[in-house]
Structure 1
Amino acid sequence: MSVDTASVLIIVNNWGIEETEMTRPLRELAADGARVTLAATTLDPCETVRHDRYPGETVVPDRLLADVRVEDYDLLVVPGGTCNVDRLRINPEALRLARDFAADGKPIAAVCHGPWLLVNAGLLPGKTLTACRYIKADLENAGGAYVDEPVHVCDAAGWTLITSRKPDDLDDFLDAIRQAL
Structure 2
Amino acid sequence: MTAIVWWDAARAFLMALGLYAFVVLAFRAGKRRTVAELAPFDLAAVIAVGAIVGRTATGGNPLAVGITAVAGLPVGHAVVSRLRHLRSFRALVDHPTSVLVVDGRIRPVELRRSGLTRGDLEAALRSHGVQDIGDVAVAVFETRNGVSILTKHGPAPLWQHLSDEESATASSD
What TM-score does the superposition give when structure 1 sets the normalisation length? 0.20
Higher strand share: 1
Higher helix share: 2
Based on CA coordinates, which of the two structures has the bigger radius of gyration?
Answer: 2
What TM-score does the superposition give when structure 2 sets the normalisation length? 0.21
